[in-house]
Chain A
Amino acid sequence: MTSLEAALRAVRASGRTALVPYLMAGATPDWTRHVEAAVHAGADAVEIGLPFSDPVMDGVVIQEAAGRSLAAGTTLDSVCSELATLDVDVPLVAMTYYNVVHHYGLDRAADAFARASLRGAIIPDLPPEEASPWTQSCTVHDVATVYLVAPSSPPERVALLARATQGFAYGAARMAVTGHASDLGDARRVVAALRAVSDIPVYVGIGITTPAQARDAAQFADGVIVGSALVSRLLDGASTSHVEDFIGDFRRALDEADERTAAEGPRHST
């Protein structure tokens, strides 16, 4: 089992719904302080975006963040060296596109991720059918390969992805690119499909915009991923204390849900 998965299973075993904020590395000069602020406010893991010129799975907010980050000269090396200065006690997970690691060299990239405490990688344009060169390198360096499962995934693909994913399964709440949304879309159905075939932690993301949505998701998911809602604030110049307040609101909403669940008895075995 990857160290990421062990850590995230432990979070679930403690009765806590995981909170996973997403930040785009390099989109603002003080992004590493924002990572620390998010952890301080109760994040259980942080997704670190490595910018790519052509992010097909991302909506306008994260596209804008990637554009700013690239304009500021961000590279895989610069992200990894800045992360090395961080002192946070939760796992970090990279989110990028395949060409970034493909061009860098798969083994070198997995090694660089591991050295920067990036213990997993989400590469949305790399399906399991094409992933074996990358996963071989990741296995050597204990970097988990995290797959998304979509509302359109038929049962046989849900099973394939559940077997292949490591750390957690990323349940896409809707047929959409990253962005804002006013409901949880198909998240409940996607999580149920994964639960039917796997006991790996299942997190939901894509369009999680408010603490109330996170609280609702906590009723059926093991974690929530908050991306564009946070990134849009960072692009607007949010300070570290804003980040703490914003993430803190999500944390409190999840804690309330977890307390209610605890009162009702155990939700899901580990």
Chain B
Amino acid sequence: MSDEFMGPPDERGHFGDFGGRFVPEALMPACLELEAAYRDARADASFARALERELALFAGRPTPVTPLERFSRRVGLRVFAKREDLAHTGSHKINNVLGQALLAQRMGKRRVIAETGAGQHGVATATAAARLGLACTVFMGEVDTRRQELNVFRMELLGATVVSVTSGSRTLKDAVNEALREWVTCVADTHYCIGSVMGPHPFPWMVREFQSVIGREAARQLRDLGVDAPDVVVACVGGGSNAAGVFAGFADGPSRLVGVEAAGGSAVGVGAPGVLHGMRSLLIQDEFGQIEEAESISAGLDYPGIGPEHAYLAARGRADYVTAHDDEVVTALQVLSEDEGIIPALETAHAVAWLLREAGHSVAYGSSVLLNLSGRGDKDVAQVRAILRGAS
């Protein structure tokens, strides 16, 4: 049954009961056009070559798999890290934006828009836009523009316009709303570069496919290190793009797949099926179907939903979705920094925290583990310093 996972969705973009395309009519033609363009690009070897070239010569792929020797001794596991923190702009986000920016260019669009929470996807989109000569506007909740002031400046240095979103809760979900509203007005010449495996079809599928380079590379690199299939593949999950990308390399095999959500943003843990941002998925909502705020130490996991394919993998039991609390996440960040000389992003530290907690429990001692090290923590050091000084 394994090979039925992480293939294409059905023709209307469903993964089981999840996914689909729930957008205003004004955006339907754009979604259909995008799907057609993506299918066409997938079938075109020259598109694949252009993307591979950008990923290699611009983004620095392949990223290595690093055996985490001291951390492994600490937890009694054999842990390997897929080093997406070493990709250009410091996280896996670049894999997706280069794919979408090349596609936008192929479709004749002159401009890209994007939403961003912590700023990582916004910076990556601004980077790809600069590289390919596209105009770029990034929507960011006002709360996040204050929390991530430096990333706002980074995007501006890269030539992007940053729009501070003051509607709703002024965070990531409102940035998505505002990007969708903007897209309605400019869809003829603008591509909406969604940053995760979410949104209307074909985005969840397309973004997973662009991120699947992580899993493909890691499977090969692990074999070279003598690990045919790791016992566990673990990644943090907000919308779930880095997890989808790494899972895609292992869904056909026997590895246990684990997605770690923020305890305050656990769409699988406390969410219910619902429709938001163009997709049917699991959403954190109140008893009346109003979407609630996610609460997390990491702005990148501050999303009240999860990609529809993850909802499907959870429903089918192919992947496990678990949570990590803010306090254990900060500890995990410190541990990995001291043990391995790698400061992970707070998002990534959720996966590290889960390993620290579960080693010797649900993960047997001696197990081989692939940890998707989705991003570097430079963006978080000021926040972590404030937390640690506040605590001491």
Contacts and interface: CB of A to CB of B under 8 A. Distances in A.
Given A56-B177, A60-B167, A175-B185, A150 B289 contact: no
Contact of B274 (A56, A102, A127, A149): A102
Interface in B105-134: none
A59 interface: yes
B275 A75 contact: no
A147 interface: yes
Interface string A72-109: 00011000000000000000000001111111100000
A19 B181 CA distance: 26
Contact of A176 (B174, B185, B288): B185
Contacts of B188: 152
A246 interface: no
A140 to B, nearest CB: 21
Contacts of B164: none
Interface stretch (A7-15, A37-45, A153-161, A233-241): A153-161
A52 B25 contact: no
Contacts of A116: none
B22 A125 contact: yes
Interface in B1-36: 12, 20-26, 28-30
B274 A175 contact: no
B168 A149 contact: no
A54 B20 contact: no
Interface residues of B, number: 37
B291 interface: yes
B65 interface: no
B180 A157 contact: no
Interface string B159-176: 000000001100001100
B289 A157 contact: no
B25 A56 contact: no
Contacts of B174: 54
A150 B288 contact: no
B177 A52 contact: no
A125 B71 CA distance: 47
Contacts of B25: 124, 127, 147-150, 152-153, 157, 161, 172
B68 interface: no
B184 A175 contact: yes
Nearest to A77: B288
The B contact surface, by secondary structure, is mixed
Contacts of A98: 22, 275
Given A56-B180, A99-B289, 7 more contacts: A55-B177, A56-B24, A63-B167, A99-B274, A103-B289, A124-B24, A157-B25
A143 B216 CA distance: 50
B149 to A, nearest CB: 25
Contact of A126 (B22, B272, B285): B22
6 contacts: A55-B177, A99-B291, A150-B25, A151-B26, A152-B188, A175-B185
A129 interface: yes
Contacts of A175: 26, 184-187
B218 to A, nearest CB: 35
Nearest to A150: B26
B392 interface: no
Contacts of B363: none
B276 A99 contact: yes
A100 B289 contact: yes
A57 interface: yes
A157 B288 contact: no
Contacts of B291: 53-54, 99
Contacts of A124: 24-25
B362 interface: no
A151 B180 CA distance: 17
Contact of A152 (B26, B280, B283): B26
A157 B29 contact: yes
B109 to A, nearest CB: 14
B290 interface: yes
A112 interface: no
Contacts of B177: 54-56
A102 B12 CA distance: 19
Q: Which of A54, A104, A148, A172 has the most CB of B within 10 A?
A: A54
Nearest to A126: B22
B181 A103 contact: no
